[in-house]
């Protein structure tokens, strides 16, 4: 019999989780993410790495921690991160990381990024591309799952896939070979082979660059376009091979033609989505393709660079807003993803994505759902993460005040529980309620 190909599955809480003493968290408000109702003075009981109970009296043997005037939420989910990248605002900053930093250096910084994400209340990340760091994300994911270092649960993509000759580092000496931030391939068979290689290495998702940005222009009907890097046959083969093996595909898609091709190929999520016409949005809704609009990186990086680059870059924010609205009108699931790593992990709180959604017309509840319920659905983990429900992972976050009244309260998250363990606590600690 061949050895099992299954990865290790032991959780951070270890094998004796079921026997552990339950911990109950009481908060002024406990959010039921599905109904949008808050339970006053609710209690969530965790045993080991699972939620055991969400209402009623905690069991007699539970340790009861009082969170006071806080709202208890499911741990947040960021579906677009790069733990191995530390800011990508300039070509030089990117080249420095690719050319000068050893992978070990980048991994140590990635471990710090995991702590930053936890500190912001994010207990699950879908990490979409290692940017020249091979399969280090697979190793980091497994180390977190083994409990070697604390961190959010990770779903990883290994190297993103790009068509040969379209992804940085570009523009260096033509007679030398330079490293690039993606796995390059071409031709339908080449795409299939690359997907097979990545799945064999243990990735959870396939990430493909469906657009490449060179030749960006504004179309007559006010969208952004550029020549697509792939043929339809190449993209079809890539997606077909991934789906055939039960793997999902995230497509970086900034321009209209490449986005349409990715949608036609049947990818599972469109990342960024700067240029989505109403017809494309309807096709996405029909096929259950999510949009991860990465509004935060658009504000932090693309927006700032646009001024130097001039037209059509200066048009991107407006076209992006219209594209997101087209998706919203069509009923496309719009899921929280920030592209953190494209901007510095420590300078900008990932949870800023939620107030931006509210500025665009989402209710605070809908914004929180995009980072919990909808994200769990995209990751095919509904019922397991992203909600406070019996049997789900004991991943919790709490903020002072009521984020349904003021979404910016999510930026103040100061209690985080990951797999049943308190990993972030306020400076004065959490206080057990004395037993009666």
Question: Where does this chain bind Zn ion (CB under 5 A)?
Answer: 339
Find, among 49, 110, 123, the residue nearest to 416 by Cα.
123
Q: Which residue has the tokens 């006053």?
A: 40
Please state, in angstroms and rounded to a whole number, the distance separating the CA atoms of residues 394 and 362. 27
Q: Which residue, 257, 331, 348, is CA-closest to 291?
A: 331
55: alpha, beta or left? (left if phi > 0; alpha if psi -120 to 50)? beta
Supply the minimum distance, in Å, between the C-beta of residue 420 and Zn ion: 30
One-letter-per-residue 3-state SS of 135-166 = CHHHHHHHHHHCCCCCCCEEEECCCCEEECCC
Q: Which is nearer to Zn ion, 137 or 339 (CB)?
A: 339
Residue 305 near residue 93, CB atoms below 8 Å: no
Q: Which is nearer to Zn ion, 72 or 157 (CB)?
A: 157
Q: How far apart are CA 334 and CA 342, in angstroms?
A: 20
β-sheet bridge partners, residue 249:
206
Return the residue nearest Zn ion (CB atom): 339
In angstroms, what is the minimal distance from the CB of 376 to Zn ion? 20
Q: In this complex, which beta carbon is closest to Zn ion, that of residue 125 or of residue 351?
A: 125
**Strand ordering across the sheet containing 161-163:** 183-185, 161-163, 205-209, 248-253, 269-272, 290-292
Nearest to Zn ion of 337, 386 (CB atom): 337
* Residue 84 Cβ vs Zn ion, minimum distance, rounded to whole Å: 11
Residue 255 vs 339, nearer CB to Zn ion:
339
Work out how close the CB of 16 gets to Zn ion at its nearest, in angstroms, rounded to a whole number.
38
State which residue, 216 or 250, has the beta carbon closest to Zn ion: 250
Q: Coil, strand or helix: which one is 29? A: strand
């Amino acid at each position: 019999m061949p050895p099992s190909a299954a990865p290790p599955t032991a959780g951070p809480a270890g094998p004796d989780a079921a026997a552990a003493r339950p911990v109950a968290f009481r908060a002024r408000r406990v959010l039921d993410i599905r109904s949008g109702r808050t339970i006053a003075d609710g209690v969530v009981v965790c045993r080991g790495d699972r939620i055991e109970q969400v209402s009623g009296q905690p069991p007699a043997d539970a340790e009861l921690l009082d969170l006071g005037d806080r709202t208890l939420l499911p741990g947040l989910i960021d579906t677009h991160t790069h733990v191995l990248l530390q800011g990508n605002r300039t070509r030089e900053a990117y080249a420095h990381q690719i050319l000068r930093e050893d992978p070990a250096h980048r991994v140590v910084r990635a471990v710090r990024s995991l702590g930053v994400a936890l500190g912001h209340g994010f207990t699950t990340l879908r990490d979409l591309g290692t940017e020249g760091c091979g399969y280090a994300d697979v190793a980091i994911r497994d180390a977190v799952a083994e409990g070697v270092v604390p961190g959010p649960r990770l779903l990883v993509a290994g190297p993103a896939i790009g068509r040969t000759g379209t992804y940085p580092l570009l523009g260096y000496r033509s007679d030398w070979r330079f490293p690039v931030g993606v796995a390059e391939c071409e031709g339908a068979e080449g795409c299939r082979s690359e997907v097979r290689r990545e799945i064999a290495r243990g990735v959870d998702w396939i990430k493909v660059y469906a657009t490449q940005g060179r030749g960006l222009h504004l179309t007559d009907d006010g969208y952004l376009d550029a020549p697509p890097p792939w043929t339809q046959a190449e993209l079809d083969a890539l997606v077909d091979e991934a789906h055939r093996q039960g793997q999902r595909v995230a497509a970086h898609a900034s321009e209209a033609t490449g986005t349409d091709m990715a949608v036609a190929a049947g990818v599972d999520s469109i990342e960024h989505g700067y240029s989505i016409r109403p017809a494309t949005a309807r096709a996405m809704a029909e096929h259950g393709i999510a949009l991860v609009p990465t509004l935060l990186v658009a504000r932090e990086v693309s927006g700032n660079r646009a001024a130097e680059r001039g037209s059509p870059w200066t048009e991107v924010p407006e076209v992006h807003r219209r594209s997101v609205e087209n998706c919203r009108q069509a009923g496309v699931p719009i899921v929280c993803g920030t592209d953190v790593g494209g901007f510095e992990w420590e300078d900008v709180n990932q949870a800023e994505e939620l107030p931006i959604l509210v500025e665009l017309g989402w209710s605070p509840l809908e914004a929180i759902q995009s980072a919990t319920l909808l994200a769990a659905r995209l990751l095919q983990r509904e019922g397991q993460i992203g909600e406070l429900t019996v049997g789900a992972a004991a991943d919790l976050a709490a903020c002072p005040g009521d984020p349904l009244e003021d979404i910016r309260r999510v930026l103040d998250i100061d209690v985080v529980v990951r797999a049943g363990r308190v990993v972030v606590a306020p400076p004065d600690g959490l206080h057990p309620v004395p037993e009666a």
